[in-house]
Amino acid sequence: MTPLYDRDGWIWQDGEWLEWRAAKMHLLTHTMHYGMGCFEGVRAYEGAGGTHIFRAAEHTRRLVESAHSLDIPLSFSEEALIEAQRACLARNALTDAYLKPTVFLGAEGLGLRAQGLQTHVMIAAWDLGPYISPQAATHGLRALTSSWARHHVNISLCRAKTSGHYVNSILALNTAVKAGFDETIMLDPEGYVAEASAANVFLLRDGVLHTPEVTSCLQGITRDSVIQLARQVLGLEVRERRITRDELYTADEAFLTGTAAEILPLRELDGRHIGTRAGAPPVSEPIKQESVTARLQHLYRQAVRGELEEFSHWLTPA
């Protein structure tokens, strides 16, 4: 596979265009050393009405709020950052794409007490495709509960999507992947379900959707889209509350949500098959089309491509 750095294209940085292969930074770049930065993962989709960025305003607002919470000054407005994301798609002739706007601190100084650091913003966009595999959407994931706890409001900024948070995610994910699983479910420091490595989690039980409240998990934008689609289109009740891992084991259905992941069924957790309460048969069958998970996947696919009139305000033309 060609490395990501080796491709044609343009990366936006601080209002300038850098040729993709020449988009380099100094080795003393502060954020590379301490993880003090923040980013977004955004998707654009091509539909009948052209290419649109999905929920650009919400992603850009979260980026600006993450920077603010980290006390990193930004000189670009939300409007300017949305314009830059649109320009990034146009300049790279992308339709279905993943965008990664990132805020980082420069190489003016190193150390925790460094002063006079410049803030930089970069936006790269490329054709990411499915997050794990095309089969993950139909057949779902097998996950392992992590021994690593997720964040706590008194340890880190749970609402912010900071670069440094992902050490914790990658530790948890790598342990699960090395043990032969697809994903990990992380618990908060008190042992309640928080989220997956880079996605929120939902469960369905007796026709009601449940998802953890946003204390130890990211306030996902896909999570919000799914809550709105479930309530407004499917007429489901959605409860945000503390969830225990055995509730996931015994759920009727469970799934993960994220911009990159979209909606992925969670089929198995710690060897318990979700939905059958009958041991752990291998996950060889696709999920049923009439399941709530499949119906939400369908609605989400329609929403991101502008096929749901009542949710067209989620789209920004590229």
- The binding track of 219-238 with respect to ligand PMP, each residue x by CB under 6 A or -, is -xxxx---------------
d(CA 273, CA 253): 10
Q: Which stretch binds ligand PMP (CB under 6 A): 80-88, 111-119, 192-200, 273-281?
A: 192-200
Residue 19: count other Cβ atoms within 10 Å of its Cβ. 10
Task: Give the residue with the Cβ less far from ligand PMP, 51 or 163.
Answer: 163
H-state helical runs in 37-132 = 56-69, 78-91
Q: Does 168 bind ligand PMP (CB under 6 A)?
A: no
Question: Residue 272 has which token pair?
Answer: 């318990």
- What's the closest the beta carbon of residue 185 comes to ligand PMP, in angstroms? 12
Task: Give the residue with the Cβ less far from ligand PMP, 259 or 316.
Answer: 259
Q: Does 195 bind ligand PMP (CB under 6 A)?
A: yes
Q: How many residues bind ligand PMP (CB under 6 A)?
A: 15
d(CA 259, CA 131): 9
- What's the closest the beta carbon of residue 152 comes to ligand PMP, in angstroms? 14
Q: Does 200 bind ligand PMP (CB under 6 A)?
A: yes
Q: Does 101 bind ligand PMP (CB under 6 A)?
A: no
Q: Which stretch binds ligand PMP (CB under 6 A): 66-74, 141-149, 251-259, 277-285?
A: 251-259
Task: Give the residue with the Cβ less far from ligand PMP, 85 or 200.
Answer: 200
Q: What is the DSSP letter of 20?
A: G
SS3 of residue 182 by DSSP: coil
Q: Is 161 a catalytic residue?
A: yes
Give me the amino acid identity at 45: Y
Task: Give the residue with the Cβ less far from ligand PMP, 51 or 60.
Answer: 60
Q: Does 97 bind ligand PMP (CB under 6 A)?
A: no
Pairing state of beta strands 38-39 and 42-47? unpaired
Task: Give the residue with the Cβ less far from ligand PMP, 167 or 208.
Answer: 167
Q: Does 146 bind ligand PMP (CB under 6 A)?
A: no
Which residues, other chains included, contact 223 with Cβ-Cβ below 8 Å and sequence gap of 6+?
200, 202, 211, 257
- What's the closest the beta carbon of residue 198 comes to ligand PMP, in angstroms? 4
Task: Give the residue with the Cβ less far from ligand PMP, 92 or 197.
Answer: 197
Q: Which stretch binds ligand PMP (CB under 6 A): 175-183, 254-262, 287-295, 303-311?
A: 254-262
109: left (phi over 0), alpha (psi -120 to 50) or beta: beta
Which residues, other chains included, contact 201 with Cβ-Cβ below 8 Å and sequence gap of 6+?
185, 193, 195, 211, 212, 217, 243, 248, 254, 255, 256, 257, 266
**Residue 208: enclosing H or E segment and its boundaries?**
strand 208-211
Q: Does 41 bind ligand PMP (CB under 6 A)?
A: yes
- Considering 24, 100, 161, 178, which one is annotated as catalytic? 161
Distances in Å between the Cα of 93 and the Cα atoms of 7, 18, 90, 126, 187 are: 13, 15, 5, 10, 41
- Active-site residue list: 161
Site residues, ligand PMP (CB under 6 A)? 41, 169, 195, 198-200, 217-218, 220-223, 257-259
